[in-house]
Each structure stands twice: as C-alpha cells, then as structure tokens.
Amino acid sequence: MVKYIFVTGGVLSSLGKGVVVGSIGLLLERSGFNTDTVKIDPYLNVDAGTMNPYMHGEVFVTEDGGETDLDLGHYERFLGKYMSKLNNITAGQIYLSVLEKERRGDYLGQCVQVVPHVTNEIKERIRHVAKARGADVLIVEIGGTVGDIEGLPFLEAIRQMKLEEGPSNTIFIHVALAPIITTGELKTKPVQHSVQELRRIGIQPDIIIVRSGRALNDDERAKIALYGNVPPKAVFSDPDTDSIYEVPLILYKEGLLSYIQELLGLPRREPELSDWVDFVEKTKKYRRKVNIAMVGKYTKVRDSYISIVEALRHAAAHLGIGLNLEWIESTDIENGVYDLSRAGELEGAIILPGFGRRGTLGKIEFIKRFRESGKPILGICFGMQLMVVEVARNLLGLKDANSTELDPNTPHPVVDMIPWQKNIEKIGGTMRLGARRINLVRDSIIWGLYRASPIYERFRHRYTLNLKYVDQLEKAGLRITGWSDEGFAEVVELNNHSFFLGVQFHPEFKSRPLNPSPVYKGFLQAVLEAARSD
C-alpha cells in the first residue's frame, strides 16, 4: 500500500514549499522508506519548457529529458535520486490527455466534465507515478496557492484520494506564511485564513508548517492550532535559515518525521543524517569569500539560474570557501551601465545559459576581457557557444563570426543549428534534451576534473559548434576536449589560459550537496589557484 503525503501552500507562492517537500523526502528516504516526490503545476503549459525564466524561474532538465519545474531540482538535491519527467504533472498534460480521449471516443455518450473526468485523470496520474517509481511514500506538492482558480480540480482530486486510499494512507500538509509586519509582530491570521479556505473545499490539513522570519512561540503555535483545527503538536515552525539545507534538520528536531510516521502508521525509524549535518556545518565555516561574476540575461530573477547557484554552493562548501556572486546583466555591459573596468575585482566568471540575441554583445565583450586577463571563466551551454564566437572573432580574425541563432546570415556560422533540428516545426519539447554520453579527451582540463570517461550530463539546446570550424579553432588554441556519441563537440578549452572552459551541457543539474559537480568544483578550485599565484 502506497502512503501519500499531499502538500498545499497558502498565503503566497515562492514560500519554499519545494524545500519543505525535499526536506520531508530526505528524512523519509534516510530512514529507509523508498520515497518519491511529484510536483503538480496547475498552469496550462504542457511543460515548463515554453515558459520564460522571468515568469517561472529555471527550467530543470531531468535525466530522461523532461523540461520541468525548478522544484524537481530541489527534490533531486535533497533526495539524492533522479526524478523523471513523470514527476512533474501539469494541468496542460491532464487536459491534453482528457481531450485526446474525448476525440478518440473513450467517453462516448458522456458529458465530459471537470468532475469526474479531469479529477479521475489527475488521480490516475498520481497513482501511476507511485507505481512506476516503486514508491513506499509519494509526496505530492500542489503548486500555487490555495484559492487559485486553476488549482481547484487538483484539490478536489486529492480530497477524493483521501477517501479512496483511506485516512491512514493519506495525509495533508499545509505550508503557509506568517508574515512579520513593520511593528515586528508575527501575524498568524493569513495562515488561519488559508486553512479556512482549504477546509471550505473539504480538506482538513493534518499538519500545518508555518514559514516565517523567526521560529513560532508557544502562543502563536496554540493560536494556529486552534483556528487550524489541529492539535498544537501538529503545528511546525519553518523559520528563515541561511542555508536551505538546514531545513530538514530543523523540521527533524521539531519531531516532524516521527509525527508523519505516526499518522501514516509507518514503523518508527530514525534517519541517518550525519553526512548531511557535516555538509550544513561546512556551508557555515569558510576561510574567505571569492568574487564570482554571474553574467546573464535574467539576473534580476535569481531563480532563473537556481541550479547553477546551488551547484556553486555545493562546490564552495566542499572547498571551504564562501561565495560573493556579482550578478551582471549583460545588456548593462553594452549600454555602459556596468563599467567593465570594475571587472578587475572579480576573481572568476560564469557565462550563463540562455537564448536569443539580446545581451549577447555584452557577454562576448566580457568573455574577451576574461580571456585576456587569464582569469578563470566557465561558459555553460549558450555561454560556451559565445566563447567559441569570441575566439573565432578575436583570435581567428573572423570578424562577423556568429551563431546562426543570433545572425542567420553570418558569413562564419561557427555555431549552427543541429542538423536534425532544422526539420522540426513544433517548439514544445523538441530541443536536444536530457542526458547523453560524452567521451573526454585525456590530458585536458575537463579530464582532470572528472578523472573518468565517458561521462553522462544533461543537455537542453538546439545549436552546436559547427564542425567545419574545428580545425581553424584548434589552430587558434581552442581545443575540443569532449565529444558525444552523436559526434558533437561538447567541451571547449583554451590552451595557455588558467581556466577557459565551455561546456555544451548543464553540469549543474547533477550537482548534489554531498557530491558536487566536478565542473563547478574545478572552476572554484581554479579561482583559488589563480588568486594564489596572483
């Protein structure tokens, strides 16, 4: 019998519900229950791939090529296991499937309705994930906030699931915000109201987790318990922390794990957390901070690059250093708002992934600066492609060299669309997606980082280094040091430079707190070495 934990959110979005889900997942997984996590997104997009990172933050890519909600990244980092595209259910997928069934005649004679057809489809999918993934416990996070119109069918579906699966196999956890207002008071009313909203739909939470700027006191806890219709021991406090990786430890200390085990009738087991505790300690103790430039186009919304930031955090903790990330909007380099002479204080730079022309000139200028100064620079995906363009322009003298994504008529298309991509008409879900095998060339920077070959990393792109230019680029000092089985150039690095490395893949997606990505760790190590020899 699978146990289900449904997690809803109240008061506002971006509360850190994904971190709570990841934390509960870690505690259960570490106490020996095969745990899996699902994110439900009530929007009508079929997947997150067609959304702008400004709207919805990073698109997380799974091993099997799903373009998913960034919460799946939290799940992977906390649970330490791969999610699949199945683990992200959207309203778009649900409606698409219901409408296809309707056209096929599966519901012939019936009036197709939200209840029961859409709700049945939702329940079926949730149960299918539990089965396909072999979960003992499935944690299902309902995205958005209780009270949103588009969330209603999902809440109705999970309400029905409690009846069908039985109360000891299903619990509801509500995560809501208690804001601290300008007088310094912590207000519980928004939490009370969001629980009321939930109860109006027929869902009584079993557990309430309160996000707030500080821990709850006994009075506040009692008040939320009274109005939320739960015993005080069912109210847990999730205060702000310096590191999200502390959240599972805080919730564990409050007794959340044993309470969940009690409610679900699971055997009482303690989790093994010592390595996790060590890691959290490391995030707090560091010798010094390094200044890293983060050059991109969506730098105003930090969630746009969340896996990269987390990958840097994992690597920094292992190296005993702290991070000072300087976010540079690449259009600001072009229009002079960011003065490039300030780059002298930066010790390393990451050229972030992206799409489209806006801001690329600024990135190319920045790459040139770092190439000339000899300081470590790492290009991810689009960042790698622009490194190739920069080298072609400034070392090969091909002045108008470009990627055809940015200039379809360039005389020197050093980066061009992947041939099989050229016949694709539909945009959704059609990039080169998911993990691929990459063979590394020995005696290279990248080989030194992984110390193994082949490696498997995840991709999300349509363009690639144009093989016609490989010879010329290599003569200019740019080595290709990683090749996929399909024959694409996946890693570039520059001779006679401390660390000028571009990777077509996204190593950040596989970085874990206890097992940082070799690329990000190697980059920070290079930053430390370059500073030492300065």
Report the catalytic residues: 381, 506, 508
Q: What's the min distance (Å) between Cβ of 522 and ligand GLN?
A: 20
Q: Is 101 in the site for ligand GLN (CB under 6 A)?
A: no
Window 281-310: contact mask with ligand GLN (x via CB under 6 A): ------------------------------
Neighbours of 246 (CB within 10 A): 18
Nearer to ligand GLN, 72 or 251 (CB): 72
Q: Which of residues 413-472 bind ligand GLN (CB under 6 A)?
A: 460-463
What are the structure tokens assigned to 257, written together? 């794990």
Q: What is the 3-state secondary structure (H, E, C) of 279-304?
A: HHHHHHCCCCEEEEEEEECCCCCHHH
If you compute the radius of gyration of the chain from its CA atoms, what whole number of angstroms results?
Answer: 25
- 85 near ligand GLN (CB under 6 A): no
How many residues touch ligand GLN under the rule CB under 6 A: the total is 10
Q: Are 447 and 441 in contact (CB under 8 A)?
A: yes
Q: Kindly state the helix (H) or strand (E) to which residue 34 belongs, with its residue range.
A: none
Closest CB 434 distance from ligand GLN, rounded Å: 13
User: What residues form DSSP beta bridges with 180?
Assistant: 186
Q: Is 382 in the site for ligand GLN (CB under 6 A)?
A: yes
60 binds ligand GLN (CB under 6 A): no
**Between the CA of residue 361 and those of 305, 325, 366, 422, what are the distances in Å?**
20, 21, 9, 25
Q: Which of residues 166-185 bind ligand GLN (CB under 6 A)?
A: none
Which residues within the stretch 311-370 sit at the binding site for ligand GLN (CB under 6 A)? Answer: 353-355
Could you identify the residue written with the tokens 């960042």? 383
381 part of the interface to ligand GLN, by CB under 6 A? yes
Least distance from C-beta 448 to ligand GLN, angstroms? 24
Q: How far is CA 166 from CA 160, 169, 330, 494, 531, in A?
A: 10, 6, 54, 61, 61
By C-beta, is 172 or 459 nearer to ligand GLN? 459
In the stretch 506-525, what mask flags binding to ligand GLN with x, by CB under 6 A? --------------------
| Tokens 């063979």 sit on residue | 439
* Shortest distance, position 460 Cβ to ligand GLN, whole Å: 5
Question: Nearer Cβ to ligand GLN, position 7 or 415?
Answer: 415
Q: How many CA atoms lie within 13 Å of 429's alpha carbon, on the beta-carbon side? A: 10
CA atoms within 13 A on the CB side of 36: 22
Closest distance of CB 439 from ligand GLN, Å: 20
Interface residues toward ligand GLN, by CB under 6 A: 353-355, 381-382, 405, 460-463
